[in-house]
Amino acid sequence: MKVPHKAHVAIVDGESFTIMRNTGKPFEPKLGDASKPNLNPSNFSAGVRHQDDMGQRTGATDLNELAHGAAAAEWLNAKAISGEITDVLVIADPKTLGEMRRHYHSELEKRLVGEINKTVTGETTEQIEKVIAAS
C-alpha cells in the first residue's frame, strides 16, 4: 500500500490507540514518532445501536471496546478538521474499524489514504511496516 511520506498511521483496537508517522518512502514505510493520545471513550450509545443481533442476545459485544473505537475516530476527526493531519492510514481490527467508520467526519474521509482491516496492536513496528507494505 502506498503511504505518503510523513503520513499519520493510526493503529487501533478496542483498548489501545497509537499514532505513528511514516518517515520512509511511500512503498517502503518506516514508522516512527509513536504516541498514545489520551481518549475519553464516552459514546456508548452508538455501540448499543449497531450491535449485531447475536451480540445483543448473548452480550458478546463489548460496549467499552466500541466506545473506544468511536473515541479514536472522534480524535482523528478533530485533528483532520484542524488541519493537523493531512494524510492518514487507519489499521484496526474488523469490529473497531466498523465502528470507527460510522463516526468518520467528511474532512477525515478526505484525508484517508487507506484502511487495513487487521489486528496489529501488540506487533513490532517492523511487523506493522510489513503489513502495510504487503497491503
Closest among 107, 46, 98 to 79, alpha carbons compared: 107
Instruction: Write down the pTM of the prediction.
Output: 0.85
Strand order in the sheet with 88-92: 31-35, 17-22, 8-12, 88-92, 112-117
Q: Measuring CA to CA, how many Å separate 16 from each of 55, 70, 92, 102?
A: 22, 12, 10, 19
Question: Where in the chain are the domains?
Answer: 8-134
Kindly report the CATH number that applies to the domain delimited by 8-134: 3.30.420
Strands 31-35 and 17-22, by their bridges, are antiparallel
Is 47 in contact with 24 (CB distance < 8 Å)? no
For residue 72, give the 3-state DSSP assignment.
helix
For 47-99, what is each residue's pLDDT tens digit?
444 455 555 555 555 777 888 899 999 999 999 999 999 999 999 999 999 99
> How far is C-alpha 95 from the chain's CA centre?
11
The pLDDT assigned to 104 comes to: 96
